[in-house]
Amino acid sequence: MAEEDDAGIRILQSLRGKICEAKNLGPVSGPNRQRDLCTFCTISLDQEEVFRTKVFDKSVSPFYGEDFYFEIPRPFQCLSFYVYAKSVFQRDLPVGKVSIRKDDLCKYSGKEHWFSLHPVDPNSEVQGKVHLEMRLNEVITDNGSVGQHLLVRIIECQGLPLISGQNCDPYATVSLVGPARSDQKKTKVKKKTSNPQFEETFFFEVTRSSSYSKKSHFQVEEEDIEKLEIKVDLWNNENLAQDVFLGETRVPVKILQNDRVHRAWYLLQPKGNGSKSKSDDLGSLRLKLTYIEDTVLPSAYYTPLCNLLLKSPDVKPISASAAHILGDICRERYEAVLPTVRLLLHHNRCVPFVSAVAALELDNTQEANTIFRGNSLATRCIDDMMKIVGKNYLAVTLKPVIDEICESNKTCEIDPVKLKEGDNVEVNKENLQGYVQKVFSSITQSSSSCPPLMCDVFRSLRHLACKRFPADPHVQYSAVSSFVFLRFFAVAVLTPHSFQLRSHHPDPEISRTLTLISKTIQTLGSWGSLSKKLSSFKETYMYDFFKSFQEDKCIEKVKKFLDEISSNVSKESSGLEDAVVLKEGEVQKRAQGRKRLGKKNFKKRWLRVTNRELSYHKHKGKEALCIINVKNIQAVEKLDESAFNRKNMFQVVHSEKPLYVQAGNCVEASEWLEVLGPVSRCNEGRLSTFHPSNYSSGAWQCCKSQSSNAPGCKPCTTTVLANLQLDIDCDRETERIFSLLSVNDTKLQNMEDACASMAVYQGPQREQEDYSKFTIQEPKETFQTLKQLRNIMEELQRQHNIRRDATAQYGSLDNPIVGKTS
């Protein structure tokens, strides 16, 4: 989520990656701590933790294997990865950290890197910015001497960190520092705020008073100016404990030589004199990062490119369409297809496009048993479509049994080479068979839950396959099973965390169980097409295991399932939509109906939202303390920090009193809003306005209206989307497509040259390496599309350049100065 500026431009940020592994982690404290080192990793935006891995057992070189993805809903300075040693009886101890400044993230994007761990020093854990004003004033003392006074005004701060999950009590010290002087002054303490408004002014004598003369009249001595600086330190007032350092900035006084008044925002910096230790002693961390920042223009600028892409299914041949050209020039980049698929899905153009590219692939397929085997544009589009559209389908079908497998932790190893001492292979085989039967039954009995759009695609694939290979009676099944079993269910079983079926990567033993189940499901799914027999197994133990299945009954069940999800026969439905858990997690909830504010009014609760209801519980798995039907939700909006002096709060307005909730961090808050907004956006009683603060002391704190039933004073967030299940930002997707086209501009030019050459030269086509990389059936049609793309890209680039030239001035709130450090 991002706020729009006055011109309607949005800056949207996201981070995707993987915490792979650590190597040679150093001792935390005491001798031989390595041997009992249980560790976990966290990710922080500045000093706000937004992601945490599970704890990994004793190892100095743990393999984490944790994938992560989140939208970044606010500006940030630094992305940090911390490794902690888990402690049972005391606070978790930091092993080390990797910190990457936002401006440096692009250097590491898309590739794995080893990073050395550095010590975690409290004096380096800072975030936020400070707004300062400085000016020089000349004064004449009573005895006629001349002096220079420096006025320093500390106006405000923004984005100070939370302390123990709560807003801090900040104050600032302002010092004039030089070779032989250090004059310090202090502001008042501001209570419970991360954005304190100080508005305090301090005076310092810059030059020693001297006799009035023309030579020294109002002149500042060079030697003093060069060596003096203003130092601003931010602290959290801890009362009985030692105050916590929040950050500092240093501004040289010589900045006033050219301009007698200086006013600017400065980023807070760590102390440069913190403890230093050799980072080599702490080990290293392997990370894969992809940071994306989209500058999204107003919708009108994307209309030409969006319309050109949406025409793609109607272009003959399909290879001459804009969407196919994008897939052609970005075929090495798997993520390039996703924005196109999302855009087509939103506008209900995905099925005709997928059908067209699948037909093109089938035309080039010579044997029925190799159908849809490669990593082509068609298979990539269908893969992405299934992941987007089938997310809830997977949750309903697989999550219960995957949870059972992961939590019961039965041993299922049947490979004699991998058996541990004391394992009983017959018991393991029985465990594995029981799990496979549950997963297989869940899948083959799920046809009524299969999304209609997936059924439409499968129906089209079945028809196209039969048309291409009319003599093969089994190809109609293999065309569908190659996707729904091999590329959808089997992959989700293998890596449930990648499909949000589990929150973390499974343990090695459970991962092995899931691998065996996934292999089995692939084979059982292919039986429906009669394309695989038991004799095709390389592993003897798998061959023996499959003997336990009744082949004929499995084939019958698979065929029945494939028929139901790909035929024209209407699926039977109970008419009652299955409850799907969209999000759940621990939050702080304010008790409803109490007047007195304070810590007692906020309690930890387990919040859970499905497509039917929102509920909160004392703990996970316990009975609901309160249930709100999603149809009764009237608004879901952010709550001002000033309402309860807490960050990351949102409110759920319904028929009774508003539910006020504090999320664990900014990413969690954004995700709750993005889940609750779409599930309730079409409710009949939805409000058009809301109160961004709370009602207390007889008035709404935002607008001071005294009636508790007064209409809201701020417009509600507008959320008008065509499909409740597909929360797609079309402008953002089109901007990403534009970025991909721009990055591959050379390939577009090569393709254009190839079209021109092929259109002019009518003889036998020459084999040229650059040309063979493209699919060009009709050079003239393709050339015309390329020309249209280029014209649109030039205009979009021009609009981006206009806005880039108008970027925020250095020293403004949006572009603060990075000051000196100690």
For residue range 172-214, list pLDDT tens digits in order: 999 998 887 788 999 999 998 889 999 999 998 876 544 434 4
pLDDT range class, residue 220, cuts 50, 70, 90: very low
Q: At what angle do helices 337-346 and 322-329 cross, to 10 degrees?
A: 160
Q: Which residues pair with 186 in a beta bridge?
A: 173
Phi, psi dihedral angles at 587 (to 5 degrees) = -140, 175
In 681-721, alpha helices (H): none
Measure the CA–CA gap between 776 and 138, rounded to whole angstroms.
76
- Measuring CA to CA, which residue among 651, 650, 688 is closest to residue 669? 650
3-state SS assignment for residue 376 = coil
> Is 300 buried (19+), middle (13-18) or exposed (0-12) by CB count in 10 A?
exposed
3-state SS assignment for residue 638 = strand
pLDDT range class, residue 807, cuts 50, 70, 90: low
| Residue 712 neighbours by CB under 8 Å, 6+ apart | 635, 687, 688, 689, 690, 691
Q: Which residue has the higher pLDDT, 747 or 810?
A: 747
Q: Which residues pair with 696 in a beta bridge?
A: 699
pLDDT range class, residue 59, cuts 50, 70, 90: confident
Report residue 3 as tokens: 């706020």
pLDDT range class, residue 627, cuts 50, 70, 90: very high
Q: Which residue has the higher pLDDT, 179 or 719?
A: 179
For residue range 336-358, list pLDDT tens digits in order: 799 999 999 999 999 999 999 99
pLDDT of residue 273: 46
Q: At what angle do helices 391-408 and 425-444 cross, to 10 degrees?
A: 160
Q: Does residue 7 surpass a pLDDT of 80?
A: no
> Is 286 buried (19+), middle (13-18) or exposed (0-12) by CB count in 10 A?
middle
Q: What does the pLDDT average to over 751-768?
A: 70
3-state SS assignment for residue 438 = helix
Least trusted range by pLDDT, from 482-496, 533-547, 678-692 = 533-547
pLDDT range class, residue 821, cuts 50, 70, 90: low
For residue range 142-174, list pLDDT tens digits in order: 666 666 788 999 999 998 888 776 788 999 999
For residue range 447-494, list pLDDT tens digits in order: 988 999 999 999 999 999 999 999 888 898 999 999 999 999 999 999
Q: Does residue 708 surpass a pLDDT of 60?
A: yes
pLDDT of residue 722: 36
pLDDT of residue 149: 82
Q: Which residue has the higher pLDDT, 508 or 518?
A: 518
| Residue 69 neighbours by CB under 8 Å, 6+ apart | 14, 15, 16, 17
Bond prior to 317 in cis (omega within 30° of 0)? yes
Q: Which residue has the higher pLDDT, 822 or 354?
A: 354
pLDDT range class, residue 297, cuts 50, 70, 90: very high
pLDDT range class, residue 221, cuts 50, 70, 90: very low
Q: Which residue has the higher pLDDT, 380 or 812?
A: 380
Least trusted range by pLDDT, from 256-260, 544-548, 779-783 = 544-548
Report residue 616 as tokens: 């909160």
Distance set, CA 516 to CA 436, 490, 543, 550, 751 (Å): 9, 10, 12, 18, 45
Q: What does the pLDDT average to over 709-730?
A: 72
Give the whole-number percent of the chain exceeding pLDDT 90.
48
Most confident of 117-131, 178-192, 287-301, 360-374: 287-301
Please report the DSSP string for 151-165 in residue order.
EEEEEEEE-PPPBTT
Q: What does the pLDDT average to over 668-691?
A: 86
pLDDT of residue 27: 66
Domains plus CATH for the chain?
Answer: 10-118+284-290 (2.60.40.150), 129-207+224-267 (2.60.40.150), 386-569 (1.10.506.10), 581-591+602-696+710-715 (2.30.29.30)
Q: Does residue 429 surpass a pLDDT of 50?
A: yes
pLDDT range class, residue 394, cuts 50, 70, 90: very high
Q: What does the pLDDT average to over 298-318?
A: 95
pLDDT of residue 699: 92
Q: Nearest 5°: CA angle at 72, between 71 and 78?
A: 140
Least trusted range by pLDDT, from 192-201, 246-255, 266-275 = 266-275
pLDDT range class, residue 405, cuts 50, 70, 90: very high
Report residue 279 as tokens: 């980072």
Least trusted range by pLDDT, from 41-50, 131-140, 262-271, 489-498 = 131-140
Measure the CA–CA gap between 227 and 179, rounded to whole angstroms.
7
pLDDT of residue 311: 96
For residue range 553-609, list pLDDT tens digits in order: 788 889 999 999 997 654 444 444 567 788 899 999 987 654 454 445 789 999 999
pLDDT of residue 87: 76
Q: Which residues pair with 28 in a beta bridge?
A: none
Torsion of CA 373, 378, 379, 383, to 10 degrees: -170
Q: Which residues pair with 205 in a beta bridge?
A: 149
Q: Which residues pair with 689 in a beta bridge?
A: 715
pLDDT of residue 721: 41
pLDDT of residue 23: 92
Measure the CA–CA gap between 198 and 190, rounded to whole angstroms.
8
pLDDT range class, residue 231, cuts 50, 70, 90: very high
Measure the CA–CA gap between 676 and 609, rounded to whole angstroms.
8
Task: Report which residue type is found at 212.
Answer: Y
